[in-house]
């Protein structure tokens, strides 16, 4: 067991003002794997003051110098990839092979991409008699989740620092170890004191203090819609900018007129993707919309995928799906599975209870429901577990209506008979990202949602711009 007994403020590892600690649990065996400081509001006050003091010199540093620091951090993440991905697999349950590629590979890309943008971005532009200047917003409070912990940290911290902002980071207390490893890397890179600060603790204490701090100019939050609303309310007291990346209940429309092979590919691929990271993904395609005439065919294909998934230790050879990240999350997901059964959905794979032989660890069976209508709880609320619902539709207009009948709008997908038809349907879906005919994930495309899935965008140039103010000089 590892004991982290300090937080990181103003370029130094320092003791928290509080004396309490938080236990971090290994998702595979339910044992304590680490303890971290339970930070306080006064810790946030110190961190915000340090970030505010560092902002003037960091924001005026030549952008090539900022890029060098970010590239150095990215290189150091490469060197520690195995160590970091192993910790994240224990924290979140993701299979180790995927953790290397996703949980650490994507953050490396973010630091490298942010470095490139720091150098290439045009911060000034002449418009008529005015000079339009883009300037860093100031101190950014970054509040991040546990499902893709380092990826979400990097999506905020890397791009904020690249733009010239300084940061105060509060990682999730469920998966904080990677944040300490990043802080160690940043310390070794000799980043100027105060540019990056780490305060661990709970949302109601540390998160709220960050949201309320008058020294923090912007909040970038990823988490549940419920928590995001609280962040926005608290942040409004100081009229700070708030960027939110929240929940989702994304629809995967399996189009009409697909030949048998393409239909099977779409159903089986969509089912497998619904179980990525044990379903702990905000952009998860958790509603599969299927032509009513082919529902029985879809059921057979989806059930075969779900029943063939190897659930187990993330470090074991061949494991596809590991445990959920916490006991609370496991219990929440099982509650939704029971709710689906109570509301009359047809259970075709999985169900409540742990998979056979996996009594230790936060494991849940990959579960598929069919004959779901969009009024059911399991069709409307974000489950955040390995649960897929099949919803029949009658005609593509009905499918689009069902897809848009959600308070969320984070992601979506369309599998159509041809690309042009797929794009036409995708344009009608009110959501931030849509995958067309299995299009590849692009880590440099903007990520964010419509409606209650959030405000603003992360990653790439659009994510970089979130951390900039606009000033016009009349000449």
Q: How far apart (Å, rounded) are the C-alpha atoms in residues 256 and 388?
A: 20
Cβ–Cβ < 8 Å for 96, 328: no
Q: Is 328 exposed, middle or buried (0-12, 13-18, 19+ CB in 10 A)?
A: exposed
CA dihedral 160, 48, 146, 362 (to 10 degrees): 170
Q: Maximum Cα–Cα distance for the chain, whole Å? A: 73
Q: Which long-range contacts (CB under 8 A, 24 or more apart) does 397-403 make?
A: 399/253, 399/255, 399/289, 399/425, 400/253, 400/425, 400/428, 400/429, 402/251, 402/287, 402/289, 402/374, 403/251, 403/253, 403/287, 403/289, 403/429, 403/431
User: Tokens 């650490």 map to which residue?
Assistant: 104
Per the annotation, the verdict on 245 as an active-site residue is yes
Cβ–Cβ < 8 Å for 413, 252: yes
Q: Select which of 282, 299, 458, 466 is catalytic.
A: 282
Task: Kindly state the tokens that stand for 467.
Answer: 């951390």
Closest CA to 405 of 307, 280, 287, 240: 287
Per the annotation, the verdict on 282 as an active-site residue is yes
Q: Select which of 245, 382, 458, 466 is catalytic.
A: 245
Active-site amino acid positions: 245, 282
């Amino acid at each position: 067991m590892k004991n982290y007994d300090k937080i990181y403020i103003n370029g130094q590892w320092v003791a928290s003002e509080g004396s309490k600690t938080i236990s971090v649990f290994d998702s595979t065996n339910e044992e304590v794997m680490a303890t971290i400081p339970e930070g306080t509001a006064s810790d946030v006050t110190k961190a915000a003051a340090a970030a505010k003091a560092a902002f003037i010199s960091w924001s005026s540093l030549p952008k090539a110098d900022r890029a060098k620091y970010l590239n150095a951090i990215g290189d150091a993440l490469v060197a520690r990839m195995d160590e970091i991905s192993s910790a994240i697999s224990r924290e979140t349950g993701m299979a180790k092979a995927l953790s290397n590629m996703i949980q650490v590979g994507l953050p490396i890309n973010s630091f490298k991409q942010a470095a490139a943008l720091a150098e290439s971005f045009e911060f000034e532009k002449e418009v008529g008699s005015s000079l339009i200047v883009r300037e860093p917003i100031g101190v950014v409070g970054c509040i991040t989740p546990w499902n893709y912990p380092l990826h979400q940290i990097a999506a905020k911290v890397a791009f904020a620092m690249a733009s010239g902002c300084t940061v105060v980071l509060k990682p999730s207390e469920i998966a904080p170890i990677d944040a300490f490893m990043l802080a160690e890397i940043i310390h070794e890179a000799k980043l100027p004191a105060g540019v990056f600060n780490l305060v661990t603790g709970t949302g109601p204490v540390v998160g709220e203090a960050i949201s309320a701090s008058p020294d923090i100019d912007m909040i970038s939050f990823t988490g549940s819609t419920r928590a995001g609303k609280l962040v926005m309310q608290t942040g409004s007291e100081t009229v700070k900018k708030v960027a939110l990346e929240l929940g989702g209940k994304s629809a995967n429309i399996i189009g009409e007129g697909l030949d048998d092979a393409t239909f099977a590919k779409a159903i089986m691929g969509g089912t497998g993707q619904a179980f990525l990271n044990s379903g702990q993904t905000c952009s998860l395609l958790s509603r599969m919309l299927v032509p009513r005439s082919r529902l029985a065919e879809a059921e057979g294909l989806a059930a075969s995928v779900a029943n063939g998934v190897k659930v187990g230790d993330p470090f074991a050879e061949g494991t596809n799906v590991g445990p959920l990240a916490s006991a609370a999350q496991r219990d929440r997901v099982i509650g939704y599975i029971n709710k689906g059964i109570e509301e009359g959905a047809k259970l075709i794979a999985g169900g409540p209870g742990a998979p056979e032989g996996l009594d230790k660890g936060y494991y849940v069976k990959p579960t598929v429901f069919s004959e779901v209508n969009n009024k059911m709880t399991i069709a409307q609320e974000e489950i955040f577990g390995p649960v897929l619902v099949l919803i029949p539709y009658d005609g593509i207009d009905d499918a689009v209506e069902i897809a848009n009948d959600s308070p969320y709008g984070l992601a979506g997908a369309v599998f159509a008979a041809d690309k042009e038809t797929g794009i036409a349907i995708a344009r009608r879906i009110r959501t931030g990202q849509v995958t067309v005919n299995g299009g590849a994930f692009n880590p440099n495309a903007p990520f964010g949602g419509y409606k209650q899935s959030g405000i603003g965008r992360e990653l790439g140039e659009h994510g970089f711009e979130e951390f900039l103010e606009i000033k016009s000089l009349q000449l």
